[in-house]
């Protein structure tokens, strides 16, 4: 498969791994909207969040919590979780993923379609 996130999951494209478990991988966004902007992807290809099997839901939530803890230790006071599901919603890579965007109080972040 020619999917860029599949290539990252297979370690064909090198990225800084922020967090990894059996089914998910987290790494910095290539075009961050702020410091610490991180993508969390399933290692297997699913086109969008609706295709992700329910059985992976708790493992995804655990990955979100682990990445959030890492980013909060780096000085963030909170975070946003953004999922662009489908091209109409701005999903550019058709491999399910979410954006964890660390936030600091008073920080101005432009939320464009990411």
Report the sign of the C-alpha dihedral through residues 98, 85, 34, 31, in that order: positive
Topology given in CATH for the domain delimited by 4-103 = HIT family, subunit A (3.30.428)
Tokens of 7: 């290539």
Instruction: Let me know if 97 is a catalytic residue.
Output: yes
Label residue 106 left, alpha or beta by phi (over 0 means left) and psi (-120 to 50 means alpha): left
Instruction: Report pLDDT for 105.
Output: 83
Q: What is the chain's pLDDT, residue by residue, as a tens digit (114 residues)?
A: 689 999 999 999 999 999 999 999 999 999 998 899 999 999 999 999 999 999 999 999 999 999 999 999 988 899 999 999 999 999 999 999 999 999 988 777 776 655
Angstrom distance (rounded) from CA 24 to CA 19: 8
Q: Which residue has the tokens 């965007």?
A: 101
| Structural domain boundaries in the chain | 4-103
Residue in 37, 95, 97, 99 annotated catalytic: 97
């Amino acid at each position: 498969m020619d999917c860029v996130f599949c290539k990252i999951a297979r370690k064909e494209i090198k990225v800084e791994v922020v967090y990894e478990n059996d089914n998910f991988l987290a790494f910095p966004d290539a075009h961050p909207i702020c410091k610490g902007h991180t993508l969390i992807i399933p290692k297997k290809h699913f086109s969008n969040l609706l295709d992700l099997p329910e059985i992976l839901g708790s493992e995804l939530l655990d990955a979100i919590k682990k990445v959030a803890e890492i980013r909060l230790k780096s000085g963030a006071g909170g975070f946003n979780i953004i999922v662009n599901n489908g091209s109409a919603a701005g999903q550019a890579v058709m491999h399910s993923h979410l954006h964890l965007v660390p936030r600091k109080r008073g920080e101005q972040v432009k939320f464009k379609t990411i």
